[in-house]
Structure 1
Amino acid sequence: MNIDRFKHHHVEILSGIAALRKLSHLGVTDHAVDIAHELKALSQIVTQHLAIEDRILYPSLERSGDERMAGMSRAYQNDMQGIASAFINFARRWSNATLLSKNPDGFRDEANIVLKNVHTRMVRENREFYPAIESLGEAGRTAVHDGLLYA
C-alpha cells in the first residue's frame, strides 16, 4: 500500500510544529501574527490528513484481510480522536493574533500539551504504524481507486 502522501503530511505537520516552537521562543506577543498564520496553515494540513485517514486509510486497512493490521488501525483511529479534537479546539482558539498577544502564556501552556501530543503521535506513526502498513503482503493489499492509495 502506497502511503507516501501520508508520510509527506507528517513532514509538513512536524515542520509546522517546529516553526510554531521557533516563533514562540522568539516571543509570542512580538510574533503573534506569524504564529496565527502558521497555526492556520498547520490546521489545514492536519484537517486534510485526518479526513484522508478517516475516509481512506482506516477503511482500507479494515478491509485488508489482515486482522492484526485491522486491529492496529482501529486502535490508532480511536486514539487519534482525542488528539484531533484537542488540536482542532487549540487551533480555533489560538488562530487569532489579538488573543495570542493578550495571553502569550496561555498559548504556550496549551501548545506545550497539544502540540507535544500531535508530535508524539506523528513520531509513533512513523516508527510503528506506517512500517506495519508497508509490510502488508500482496494478499493483504487493498486497491483504492481514487489515486491516493493503490496496490
Structure 2
Amino acid sequence: MDIERFKHQHVEILDGIASLREFAHAGIKEHAYEIARAVVALSTVVKLHLAIEDRILYPALQNGPDARLAEMGRAYQDDMKGIANAYIAFSRRWTAAAIIAEKAEQFRAEANVVLKTLHGRMQKENTEFYPAIEAM
C-alpha cells in the first residue's frame, strides 16, 4: 500500500505544530494574527488527513488480508477519535487573533496539551504504524 501521501501530510502537520510553537515562544499576544492563521492552515491539513485516513487507509487495512494490521488500524482509528475531537474543538476556539491575544495564557495551556498529543500521535504513526503498513 502506498502511504506517501499520508507521510507527506505528517510532515505538513509537524511543521505546522513547530510553526505554532515558534510563534508562541516569540509572544502569543504579539503574534496572535500569525497564530490564528497558522491554526487555520494546520486545521486544513489535519482535517484532510483525518478524512483520507477514515475513507481510504483504515478501510483498506480492515478489509485486507493481514489480521494484525486490520486490528492495528482499528486501534489507531479508535484512539484518533478522541485526539481528533480535542484538536477540532481547539482549532474552532482559536481562529480569531483578538481572542488569542486576549486569552493568551489559556491559548498556551490548551495548545500545550492538544498539540503535544497530536505531535505524539504523528510520531507514533511514523515510527510504528506506517512502518508496519509498508512492511506488509
Q: In the alignment, which residue of structure 1 is the partner of 2:19?
A: 19
Kindly indicate which of the two structures has a greater share of residues assigned to helix: 2
Q: Within 2, Cα distance between the matches of 1:62 and 1:135?
A: 16
Q: In the alignment, which residue of structure 2 is the partner of 1:44?
A: 44
Give CA deviations for 1:74-123 in whole Å, capped at 9, x if unaligned.
00000000000000000000111010010100000000000000000000
**CA positional deviation for 1:67:** 0.5
Q: Which runs of at least 4 in structure 1 moved beyond 3 Å after TM superposition?
A: none
User: Where do 1:110-129 residues align within 5 Å?
Assistant: 110-129=110-129
Counterpart AA for 1:50: L
Q: Within 2, Cα distance between the matches of 1:63 and 1:77?
A: 14
TM-score of the pair, normalised by structure 2: 0.99
Gaps of 5+ in 1: 137-151
Q: Within 1, Cα distance between the matches of 2:60 and 2:92?
A: 30
3-state secondary structure, aligned to 2:29: coil
Q: Within 2, Cα distance between the matches of 1:8 and 1:95?
A: 24
**CA positional deviation for 1:65:** 1.1
Q: In the alignment, which residue of structure 2 is the partner of 1:84?
A: 84
Q: Within 2, Cα distance between the matches of 1:111 and 1:38?
A: 12
Q: In the alignment, which residue of structure 2 is the partner of 1:34?
A: 34
TM-score of the pair, normalised by structure 1: 0.90
Counterpart AA for 1:72: M
**CA positional deviation for 1:54:** 0.2
Q: Within 2, Cα distance between the matches of 1:35 and 1:95?
A: 8
**CA positional deviation for 1:63:** 1.0
3-state secondary structure, aligned to 1:129: helix
CA RMSD of aligned residues (A): 0.3
**CA positional deviation for 1:42:** 0.1
Matched length: 136
Gaps of 5+ in 2: none
Counterpart AA for 2:71: G
Counterpart AA for 1:47: K
